[in-house]
Amino acid sequence: MARAARDELSAPATEAGRRAVEAVWRIESARIVGALARYTGDFSLAEDLASEALTEALAAWPRDGVPRDPVAWLLTVGRRRAIDAFRRRAGRDERYATLGRELVEGGAHAGGAPARAQEPDLLWDPDRIDDDRLALLFIACHPVLSREARLALTLRVVGGLTSEQVAASLLVPVPTVQARITRAKKTLAAARVPFEVPPAAERAERLGSVLSVIYVLFTEGSSASTGDSWLRTDLAHEAVRLARVLVGLLPDEPEVQGLLALLELTAARFPARTRPDGDPVLLADQDRRRWDRSAIRRGRAALARAVSTGRGLGPYGLQAAIAEQHALAASIEATDWDRIVVLFEALGRVAPSPVVDLNRAVAVSMAAGPDAALPLVDALVASGSLAGTYLVPSVRGELLAQLGRSAEARAELELAARLCGNEREKAVLLRKSAAL
Amino acid sequence: MSKYMLIMRNTDEGYAEYVQKDFSEIIAAMGRYNEAMMQAGVLVAGEGLSGADEGAVVDFTAETPVVTDGPYGETKELFNGFWILDVATKEEAVEWAKRAPLHGPGNKVEVRRVTGPDDFPKDEWAEKEAGWREQLGTN
């Protein structure tokens, strides 16, 4: 009887312990993986060691309670595992034998319970934390990795999400995430990618890759491209958090500030973007009182910092400047569409893309009417660059509807609905067509 | 993601002990704590409060509100400031709270979730509140 009661109690206690471990991991994973990677000089090994330390914590903390200094605990376990790994590999590779000796001479314990962090802490160099975190972001977003691998690895090692959380965020099974991370570590090892902040010559390109990973995570979360869920705000917020971390590390990079500004200003609209039944609400129909004013303030502050670097706005900064125009306007009619057209023209020059051209056409229709915008859309149709997507027919259908050409508009909107992968958006297009 | 408020609480005795400490050390420790939360991308707001002796308390126990200047008199606890964090879970908010540079008897940090529009029924007051938030620039 007493035994049964205790068993009933232990399940929630274990659950609470697991959540406590996950909370520490979310805050500290980058620091722990970073410190282990710097110390071992081997990112893949460091990620394995950190994962093992996490597994050990998940077993021990719910049982023994959360240690007083959880970071020291995790680092001690990671270091102990590192020594074990070096000893295993020492026979095969002299480099590991040397490292193993140095670690042991440094006073680390091998085996037994995690030691109290009294010995000189070799891994611990507080001045290096920012560099480690930055190096981690750069390696997780390395161009040798596939897009999927970059997303999974960034969420795992920089975002501090467990494999289960990464899987839920990216809508893939857990084994797929684990396979992607394993593959990514093998790729980085095979390509001999060093764990470092890239030298100046590579910096701009590598930073571009980091920014793009954060941006893709955000867009994955803010408009799920498949399935029937329109918004996965947890993933989008995770991307905002990563952008804030990056701003803390590289405050003088205008595009870093520009990306944060874009994400804050876009996320500010989330509370107004879905109806209670989950259907998306278009910008024109959104209740702007529901926009998150503090997010708008943070976004505008980041954009102002991007401008103040005096190096001009890049693609993210320009998109943020467009989002800022919407944030400032009381309604769709009161929006400064002429300014938005100019910003889209600039964006089209620094980052040419048919999607930007299409958005510019929409802005032109708002500034100068549908007859001014239709030729721009027709030119896109003629170029065939967005063929097969629902974007062009949905905009063209809208313009034709405004011009009173209802039959043509219906045909375009129905075509758009057929091409659209998101069930919620498809329903909106069909309703619009039926109303003509 | 949710927002959590960390509320700094203290007792009279704790506060008396606190003001004896080296002020520049307290400021530096607080600065490091705030910076760590900034760097982690979780801190979205925070304020400290001046001493309770500069404030006032309005008590609604009686039919007419009673105003008392200065320290609360018989009250045991003082509120000294707050942080608002943007985090995934309550446990994460608690983990940050545990790192606050506070020590000694009477020092506490209370962790409370900040409510959002989804916590309330969609009635006319919820509608009005959306408008107030726009005016006040808070959310």
Nearest to B82 by CA among B1, B3, B2: B3
Domain at A390, CATH number = 1.25.40.10
Domain boundary among A86, A109, A132: A109
Share of chain B above pLDDT 90, in %: 41
Nearest to A326 by CA among A310, A341, A317, A337: A337
Tokens of residue A425, six digits: 């958006």
Q: Answer whether residue A355 is part of any domain.
A: yes
Contacts of A327 (CB under 8 A, 6+ apart): A265, A268, A291, A296, A299, A300
Shortest distance, CA B74 to any CA of chain A (angstroms): 35
Average pLDDT over every residue of A73-87: 88
Give phi and psi for B122, each to the nearest 5: -80, 80
Domain boundary among A109, A134, A163: A109
Residues of A in contact with B121 (CB under 8 A): none
Mutate to test the interface with A, among B91, B98, B125 (most CBs of A within 10 A): B91
What are the start-end ranges of the E strands in B2-133? 2-11, 43-48, 56-59, 66-69, 77-87, 108-113
| pLDDT, tens only, A251-301 | 999 999 999 999 999 999 988 888 777 777 888 889 998 899 999 999 999
Minimal Cα distance from B35: which residue of A? Answer: A248
Residue A385: per-residue pLDDT: 86
Crossing angle between the packed helical segments A200-222 and A233-249, to the nearest 10 degrees:
160
pTM of structure: 0.84
Q: Answer whether residue A234 is part of any domain.
A: no
Q: Answer whether residue A261 is part of any domain.
A: no
pLDDT band at B134 (very low <50, low <70, confident <90, very high): low
Average pLDDT over every residue of A371-397: 93
| 3-state secondary structure (DSSP) of residue A108 | coil
- Distance in angstroms (rounded) separating the CA atoms of residues B127 and A56: 49
Residues of chain B in Cβ contact (below 8 Å) with chain A: 1, 38-42, 44-45, 86, 88-89, 91-92, 94-96, 116-117, 122, 130-131, 133-134, 136-139
Residue A27 at interface with chain B, using a CB cutoff of 8 Å: yes
Domains of chain B, start order: 2-136 (3.30.70.1060)
Average pLDDT over every residue of B118-137: 69
Q: Answer whether residue A55 is part of any domain.
A: yes
Number of helices (H), then strands (E), in chain A: 20, 0
Q: Which residue has the higher pLDDT, A147 or A116?
A: A147
Residue A1: per-residue pLDDT: 41
Q: Which residue has the higher pLDDT, A149 or A100?
A: A149
Smallest Cβ–Cβ distance between A294 and the set B38, B44, B88 belongs to B44
Average pLDDT over every residue of A406-428: 91
Average pLDDT over every residue of A170-181: 92
Q: Answer whether residue A105 is part of any domain.
A: yes
Q: Answer whether residue A235 is part of any domain.
A: no
Number of domains making up chain A? 2
With a cut of 90, say whether residue A165 has pLDDT above it: no
Q: Do B131 and A289 touch (CB under 8 A)?
A: yes
Nearest to B57 by CA among B66, B46, B48: B66
Smallest Cβ–Cβ distance between B1 and the set A233, A243, A245 belongs to A233
Q: Do B131 and A291 touch (CB under 8 A)?
A: no
Domain boundary among A77, A109, A141: A109
Average pLDDT over every residue of A415-431: 89
Q: Do B130 and A287 touch (CB under 8 A)?
A: yes
pLDDT band at A331 (very low <50, low <70, confident <90, very high): very high
Nearest to A265 by CA among A331, A313, A223, A317: A317
Residue A225: per-residue pLDDT: 45
CA of B99: how far to CAs of A183, B29, B32, B77, in Å?
A: 36, 11, 11, 21
Considering A74-83, A125-134, A303-312, the range whose residues carry the highest mean pLDDT is A303-312
CA of A386: how far to CAs of A216, A352, A378, A380, A425, in Å?
A: 19, 13, 12, 7, 18
Q: How many CB pairs under 8 A join A and B?
A: 73
Nearest to A133 by CA among A49, A250, A41: A250
Q: Do B137 and A294 touch (CB under 8 A)?
A: yes
Residues of A in contact with B91 (CB under 8 A): 19-20, 22-23
Nearest to A394 by CA among A368, A431, A369, A367: A431
The DSSP 8-state label assigned to residue B54 in this structure reads: G
Residues of B in contact with A231 (CB under 8 A): none
With a cut of 80, say whether residue A99 has pLDDT above it: no
Residue A400: which domain range? 351-436
Residue A203 at interface with chain B, using a CB cutoff of 8 Å: no
Q: Do A241 and B41 touch (CB under 8 A)?
A: yes
Q: Answer whether residue A295 is part of any domain.
A: no
Residue A244: per-residue pLDDT: 96
| 3-state secondary structure (DSSP) of residue A431 | helix
Nearest to A249 by CA among B61, B122, B117, B39: B39
Long-range contacts, stretch A44-51, CB < 8 angstroms, 24+ apart: A44/A185, A44/A186, A44/A188, A44/A189, A45/A82, A45/A85, A46/A78, A46/A195, A47/A156, A47/A157, A47/A181, A47/A185, A48/A85, A48/A185, A49/A78, A49/A81, A49/A82, A49/A85, A50/A74, A50/A78, A50/A157
Neighbouring CB atoms inside 10 A of A188's CB total: 23
pLDDT band at A96 (very low <50, low <70, confident <90, very high): low
Neighbouring CB atoms inside 10 A of B95's CB total: 22
pLDDT band at A40 (very low <50, low <70, confident <90, very high): confident
Q: Answer whether residue A65 is part of any domain.
A: yes
